[in-house]
């Protein structure tokens, strides 16, 4: 076959999408070097024809366009590679051909690679050095892009051919890469270290390469006696560790080096007995106290921004926000070593924070290091300390990563079995007091100054009083100088109290469905009078032997204010408004206002969801929250917090289960059917291929052991996946689902839609990508109120008379109507979006997260309604519209 016909045939096959990616890329590179004329003409002809079947994928289309762009303006043989070219010209021609290759695979192989590599290796040594310098200059200039595998492979040929490369340029560039990917670089690096020329940052990149791509990519690094530094520099904790150890005498450095070498061997899920014994001996060598003090200081810096930023890797992940994968193993080893040390509050705090830091998500990567989070949970489980159990209980309420949550649950269940109590009792008994003496208060004298910790809502704050008892804004110099350790402990306790209060609030909120009961004496000790949990329990309504009551004026009181006699053996339960007469619920709301009680979550004002006539007609499913468009990642995060299991849907040809919530106390499983929304990869998926939005559908209930459902990512019917011994199971009639369960599940779904709906986004007035969701946005933004929005409207009706702008505001159906000096505005009570009278023009105001809340200084009977704060802040702003200075708002409201 003639070259012209061969080129034409191959290009047509490429355009149709036939063949593997490496084969067609090799062919393009080879033929561009051999026969530019034939390739150019073939590409021109193909692009002129433009048959649809030739453009089967955007990638092939782009490849052809690239060939045309590169060759169109050049005469034959312009890019032909010959041995007599000077290094700079040879490099230039190669770069023009190779630079646009996409980094779809790590090592470039094939005929073109071998031929071009042989040509480069045949150059004189000084020319090879110049070639390497040109390649590296190009790679360094493109630091905002991933390294090109073709170039790194050719660099490897130069390195392996005798090291005739610019070594400083190579390893300087290498040290800024996630993984350099240059074959033979590890052997050259070891030789440099042996010659007394260390390149620590380049060593770090080679180590990362071994972890990320397998040991077969890196074979020259010594395993038994790793090069110093034993941990990779570039992260603040590791930099501090390296600097501290290098400042020690030589014999002390050797002991620490041996310990770190042992830590880097923590590659299993759990340490073996032998590993722990060796670790104990190495810790004894450096000193127990010194190990604990130094390690706590180093590991407290984990998660801080990298001190040496990395360039983009071959994947889409932001590795500057993640953990160095080599260091993550060393950290796991250090955490395991802490597990066998005497427990202390500092170690417990560190391990809890480590678990949360390791689970923080990074774009394109996911959680930073679940294996490190699991190691921290393991270490907490081994510490024989009540504070460690309390930290596990806090993590149980905060962690949403399935694998780590499973480890936390396992640790708490094991502790419950060891103590011979129920798991619920372990959660209650493990809650620390953080030194609080009275409910929500701690006072400690430091010299002549008194430090006071106060709990307000779900936050703690530190206050100071001088010797005369007068408040001062900050601790005096005497305290900072003579009581530095106690001051550090106090500040750490304040932070921990805030974290624990949030976790306990969420636990109490989820307890609504737990069917939990207590004897009054035990409940009073664990809840009402507990120094920490009491700040929450005293703001909730309980039932004692069936009588509803709440703490007020130093006693448990009924709704009419009478003190309730509570026998020690009386049964206590958490009160819920479902099934309660409306006058009784309203009476409790008035009680909260009368006594100035702000509940930690909605209880007296909790939305209830009785079954509707439409749900009675459908029988086995609810369409109440169907046909909404929600942001998938926000929905996914909310679902995890509320105890639902949800899998991120990718825009791929695969099936997924629906989001589910298991209710073991009731033997039920709730399902919320959803599907990916949209089919345009560019506008409907993120860089990782996950759908940006979901379309919602039915809510159903099944027995908890019923077969799981699955449906295609993009939609279609859900079908049950049957195991070997399973039979199809029909959905339960909604009338058979207990009213409390139905109401709470529907409340969760209302929350998902109310928070994650694209209708809440004020910038979506154009309907988003292509305007496809314009009608949905308009109907949701200004449509009928959900149960949550109706509760908000009822509360605003009571709050308006207390506002300074009361005379300018009124409730008008679905809106808060606000009269400004320039216009009159209607703020929707569900979405918070705004229309302007008289023509209902849309007003876009993007919330300023840093601005003061519209509820500051205003009594609210519950915490956590962000939309209420948004509505009030917009109302206050618009009531004084002549004072608005934001030009983007002024342009919209002035005629």
- Chain centroid offset of residue 354 CA: 15
Spell out the SS3 assignment of 526-538.
HHHCCCCCHHHHC
**C-alpha triplet 203, 209, 214: angle, nearest 5°:** 130
Q: Give yes or no for a contact between 574 and 521, defined as CB atoms under 8 angstroms apart.
A: no
- The answer to the question of residue 337 being in a domain is yes
Domain span at residue 746? 613-771
**8 A C-beta contact, residue 426 and residue 416:** yes
Mean pLDDT of 322-342: 95
d(CA 151, CA 188): 18
The answer as to whether 222 is a domain residue is: no
User: In terms of C-beta density within 10 A (0-12 exposed, 13-18 middle, 19 or more buried), how is residue 764 classed?
Assistant: buried
Backbone φ and ψ for 568, nearest 5 degrees, come out as: -60, -30
> What does the H/E/C string look like for 84-115?
CCCHHHHHHHHHHHHCCCCCCCCCCCCHHHHH
> Which two structure tokens, joined as six digits, stand for 384?
């024989």
pLDDT at 839: 87
C-alpha distances in Å from residue 508, one per residue of 34, 307, 453, 539, 744:
73, 41, 23, 12, 14
Cis peptide before 496 (omega within 30 of 0): no
**For residue 77, what pLDDT band results from cuts at 50, 70 and 90?**
very low
pLDDT for position 245:
96
pLDDT digits (tens, 9 = 90+) for 241-287: 999 999 999 989 999 999 999 999 999 999 999 999 999 999 999 99
Is there a contact between 638 and 755 (Cβ–Cβ < 8 Å)?
A: yes
Domain finish residue from 189, 217, 245: 217
Q: How confident is the model at residue 12, as a pLDDT?
A: 54
Q: What is the pLDDT of residue 421?
A: 87
Q: Give long-range contacts, CB 8 A cutoff, 24+ apart: 577-581.
A: 577/603, 577/604, 577/606, 577/608, 578/608, 578/739, 578/740, 578/743, 579/739, 579/740
Which of 217, 246, 268 corresponds to the end of one domain?
217
CB neighbour class for 123 (10 Å; exposed up to 12, middle 13-18, buried from 19) = buried
Name the region of 689 (left: φ>0; alpha: ψ -120 to 50; beta: rest).
left
Residues 748, 648 share a domain? yes
Mean pLDDT value across residues 55-74: 49
Q: How confident is the model at residue 221 (pLDDT cuts 50, 70, 90)?
A: confident
- If asked whether residues 639 and 498 sit together in one domain, one would say no
What does the alpha-carbon distance between residue 476 and residue 229 come to, in Å, rounded to a whole number? 42
Tell me, yes or no, whether 13 lies in a domain: yes
Would 606 be classed as within a structural domain? no
Q: Is 229 a member of any domain?
A: no
**In this model, does residue 513 exceed pLDDT 70?**
yes
Count of the separate structural domains present in the chain: 5
In a domain, 632, yes or no: yes
Residue showing tokens 């918070």: 832
514 and 450 assigned to the same domain: yes
Residue 351 has pLDDT above 80, yes or no: yes
Q: Of 677, 696, 715, 701, nearest to 618 (Cα)? A: 701
Does 502 fall in a domain?
yes
Q: What digits encode the pLDDT tens for the residues 715-773?
A: 889 999 888 788 899 999 999 999 999 999 999 999 999 899 998 887 776 666 667 78
Q: Is 739 exposed, middle or buried (0-12, 13-18, 19+ CB in 10 A)?
A: middle
Residue 223 has pLDDT above 90, yes or no: no
Nearest to 573 by CA among 520, 625, 610: 520
Peptide bond into 86 cis (omega under 30): no
Question: Do 205 and 58 have their domain in common?
Answer: yes
Q: Which of 22-26, 207-211, 411-415: highest mean pLDDT?
A: 411-415
Each residue's pLDDT tens digit, 444-468: 998 889 999 999 998 999 999 988 8
Q: DSSP states of 683-736 as a string?
A: HHB-TTSBBSEEEEEEEEEEETTSPEEEEETTEEEEEEE--TT----PPPPGGG
Complete DSSP assignment for 149-194: HHHHHHHHHHHHTT--S-HHHHHHHHTTSS----TTHHHHHHHHHH
Task: Give CA–CA dist 178/318, Å, rounded.
Answer: 10
Residue 709 near residue 718, CB atoms below 8 Å = yes
Report the pLDDT averaged over residues 573-591.
95
The pLDDT of residue 38 is above 70: no
CA distance 323 to 884: 45
Q: Which pLDDT tens digit goes with each residue over 837-851?
A: 998 898 988 876 655
What token pair was written down for 413?
A: 């269940």
Q: Which of 13-22, 220-229, 633-642, 683-692 has the lowest mean pLDDT?
A: 13-22
Please state, in angstroms and rounded to a whole number, the distance separating the CA atoms of residues 818 and 827. Answer: 8
Residue where one domain finishes, among candidates 406, 429, 452: 429
204: CB partners within 8 A, 6+ apart: 175, 232, 233, 234, 324, 326
pLDDT of the residue at 11: 53
CB 384 within 8 A of CB 340: no
pLDDT given at position 74: 39
On whether both 765 and 787 belong to a single domain, the answer is no
> Is residue 409 one of the residues assigned to a domain?
yes
Query: Per DSSP, what are the bridge partners of residue 660?
Result: 645, 671
- Residue 262: partners with Cβ closer than 8 Å, 6 or more residues away: 275, 278, 279, 282, 333
How big is the chain by its Cα radius of gyration, in Å? 33
Give CA–CA dist 132/310, Å, rounded: 21
Contacts of residue 118, defined as CB under 8 A and 6 or more positions apart, other chains included, come to none
Please spell the DSSP secondary structure of 527-591, one letter per residue: IIT-TTTHHHHTTSEEEETTEEEEEETTEEE-TTSPBPP--TT-EEEE---TT--HHHHHHHHHH
156 and 21 share one domain: yes
Based on the fold, state whether residues 581 and 688 are members of the same structural domain. no
Q: Which helix (H) or strand (E) holds 132?
A: helix 125-141
Asked whether residue 335 falls in the same domain as residue 363, the answer is: yes
Higher-scoring residue by pLDDT: 121, 331: 331
Report helix, strand or coil for 811. Answer: strand
Digit-coded pLDDT (tens) for 4-33: 455 555 555 554 444 444 455 555 556 655
CA–CA distances in Å: residue 114 to residues 107, 335, 586: 12, 47, 82
Please, which pLDDT band fits residue 220 given cuts at 50, 70 and 90? Answer: confident
Q: What is the C-alpha separation between 703 and 729, in angstroms, rounded? A: 8
For the record, the structure tokens of 354 come out as: 């480590």
Q: List, in sequence order, every residue forming a beta bridge with 452; answer none if it has no partner.
A: 443, 463
Residues 382 and 447 both lie in one domain: no
Same structural domain, 70 and 24? yes
Residues 203 and 297 in one domain: no
Q: Domain check: are 351 and 459 in the same one?
A: no
Write down how long the chain is.
895
- The pLDDT of residue 638 is 93
| Pairing between β-strand 547-552 and β-strand 715-721 as defined by DSSP bridges | unpaired
pTM of the model: 0.76
Those residues with Cβ within 8 angstroms of residue 426's Cβ, 6 or more apart along the chain or in another chain? 389, 393, 412, 415, 416, 419
Q: How confident is the model at residue 44 (pLDDT cuts 50, 70, 90)?
A: low
Q: Which residues is 841 bridged to in the sheet?
A: 836
Question: For residues 537 and 527, is the Cβ–Cβ distance under 8 A?
Answer: yes
Decide: helix, strand or coil at residue 143.
coil
Cα 251 to the center of its chain, rounded Å:
43
pLDDT digits (tens, 9 = 90+) for 151-199: 788 888 889 888 689 999 999 999 888 887 788 888 899 999 989 999 9
């Amino acid at each position: 076959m003639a070259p012209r016909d061969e080129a034409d045939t191959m290009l047509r096959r490429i355009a149709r999408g036939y063949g593997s990616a490496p084969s067609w890329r090799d062919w393009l590179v080879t033929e561009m070097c051999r026969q530019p004329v034939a390739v150019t003409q073939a590409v021109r002809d193909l692009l002129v024809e433009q048959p649809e079947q030739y453009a089967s994928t955007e990638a092939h289309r782009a490849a052809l366009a690239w060939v045309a762009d590169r060759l169109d303006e050049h005469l034959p043989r312009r890019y032909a590679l010959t041995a007599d070219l000077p290094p700079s010209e040879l490099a230039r021609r190669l770069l023009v051909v190779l630079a646009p290759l996409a980094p779809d695979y790590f090592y470039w192989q094939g005929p073109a690679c071998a031929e071009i590599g042989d040509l480069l290796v045949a150059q004189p040594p000084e020319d090879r050095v110049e070639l390497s310098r040109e390649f590296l200059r190009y790679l360094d200039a493109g630091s905002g892009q991933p390294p090109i595998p073709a170039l790194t492979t050719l660099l490897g040929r130069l390195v392996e051919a005798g090291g005739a490369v610019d070594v400083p340029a190579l390893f300087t560039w290498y040290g800024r890469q996630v993984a350099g990917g240059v074959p033979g670089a590890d052997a050259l690096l070891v030789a440099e270290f042996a010659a007394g020329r260390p390149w620590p940052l380049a060593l770090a990149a080679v180590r990362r390469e071994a972890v990320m791509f397998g040991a077969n990519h890196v074979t020259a690094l010594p395993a038994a006696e790793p090069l110093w530094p034993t941990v990779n520099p570039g992260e603040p904790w590791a930099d501090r560790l390296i600097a501290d150890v290098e400042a020690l005498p030589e014999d002390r450095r050797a002991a620490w080096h041996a310990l770190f070498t042992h830590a880097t061997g923590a590659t299993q899920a759990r340490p073996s007995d032998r590993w722990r014994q060796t670790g104990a001996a190495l810790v004894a060598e450096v000193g127990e106290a010194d190990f604990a003090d130094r390690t706590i200081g180093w590991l407290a810096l984990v998660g801080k921004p990298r001190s040496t930023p990395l360039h983009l890797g071959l994947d889409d992940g932001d590795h500057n926000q993640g953990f160095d994968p080599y260091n993550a193993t060393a950290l796991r080893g250090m955490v395991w070593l802490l597990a066998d040390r005497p427990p202390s509050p500092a170690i417990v705090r560190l391990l809890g924070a480590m678990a949360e830091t390791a689970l923080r998500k990074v774009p394109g990567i996911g959680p930073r290091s679940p294996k490190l989070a699991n190691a921290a949970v393991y270490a907490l489980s081994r510490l024989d300390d009540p504070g460690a159990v309390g930290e596990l209980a806090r993590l149980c309420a905060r962690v949403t990563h399935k694998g780590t949550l499973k480890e936390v649950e396992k640790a708490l269940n094991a502790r419950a079995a060891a103590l011979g109590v129920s798991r619920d009792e372990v959660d209650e008994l493990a809650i620390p007091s953080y030194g609080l003496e009275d409910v929500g208060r701690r006072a400690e004298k430091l010299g002549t100054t008194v430090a006071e910790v106060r709990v307000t809502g779900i936050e703690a704050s530190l206050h100071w009083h001088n010797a005369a008892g007068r408040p001062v804004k900050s601790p005096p110099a005497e305290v900072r100088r003579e009581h530095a350790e106690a001051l550090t402990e106090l500040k750490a306790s304040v932070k921990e109290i805030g974290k624990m209060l949030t976790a306990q609030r969420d636990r109490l909120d989820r307890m609504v469905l737990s069917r939990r009961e207590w004897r009054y004496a035990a409940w009073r000790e664990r809840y009402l009078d507990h120094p920490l949990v009491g700040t929450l329990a005293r703001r909730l309504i309980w039932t004692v032997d069936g009588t509803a009551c709440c703490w007020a004026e130093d006693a448990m009181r009924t709704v009419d204010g009478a003190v309730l006699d509570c026998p020690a053996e009386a049964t206590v339960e958490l009160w819920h408004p479902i099934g309660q007469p409306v006058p009784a619920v309203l009476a409790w709301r008035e009680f909260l206002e009368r006594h100035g009680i702000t509940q930690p979550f909605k209880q007296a004002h909790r939305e209830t969801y009785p079954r509707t006539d439409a749900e009675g007609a459908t029988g086995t499913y609810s369409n109440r929250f169907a046909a909404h468009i929600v942001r998938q990642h926000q929905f996914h995060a909310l679902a995890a917090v509320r105890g639902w299991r949800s899998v991120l849907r990718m825009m791929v040809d695969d099936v997924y289960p629906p989001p589910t919530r298991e209710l073991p106390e009731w033997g039920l499983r709730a399902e919320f059917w959803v599907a990916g929304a949209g089919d345009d990869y560019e506008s409907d998926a993120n860089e990782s291929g996950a759908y940006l939005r979901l379309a919602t559908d039915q809510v159903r209930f099944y027995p908890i052991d019923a077969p799981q459902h699955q449906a295609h990512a993009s939609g279609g019917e859900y079908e049950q996946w049957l195991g070997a011994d399973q039979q199809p199971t029909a959905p339960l009639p909604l009338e058979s689902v207990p009213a409390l369960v139905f109401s709470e599940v529907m409340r969760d779904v209302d929350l998902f839609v109310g928070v994650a709906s694209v209708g809440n986004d004020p910038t979506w007035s154009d309907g988003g990508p292509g305007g496809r969701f314009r009608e949905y946005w308009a109907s949701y933004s200004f449509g009928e109120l959900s149960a949550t929005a109706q509760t908000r409207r009822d509360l605003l009706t009571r709050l308006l008379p207390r506002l300074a702008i009361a005379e300018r505001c009124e409730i008008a159906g679905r809106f808060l109507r606000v009269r400004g000096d320039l216009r009159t505005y209607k703020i929707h009570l569900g979405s918070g979006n705004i229309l302007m009278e008289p023509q209902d023009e849309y007003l876009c105001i993007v919330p300023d997260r840093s601005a003061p809340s519209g509820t500051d200084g205003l009594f609210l009977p519950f915490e956590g309604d962000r939309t209420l704060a948004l509505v009030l802040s917009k109302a206050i702003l618009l009531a004084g519209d002549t004072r608005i200075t934001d030009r983007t708002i002024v342009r919209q409201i002035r005629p």
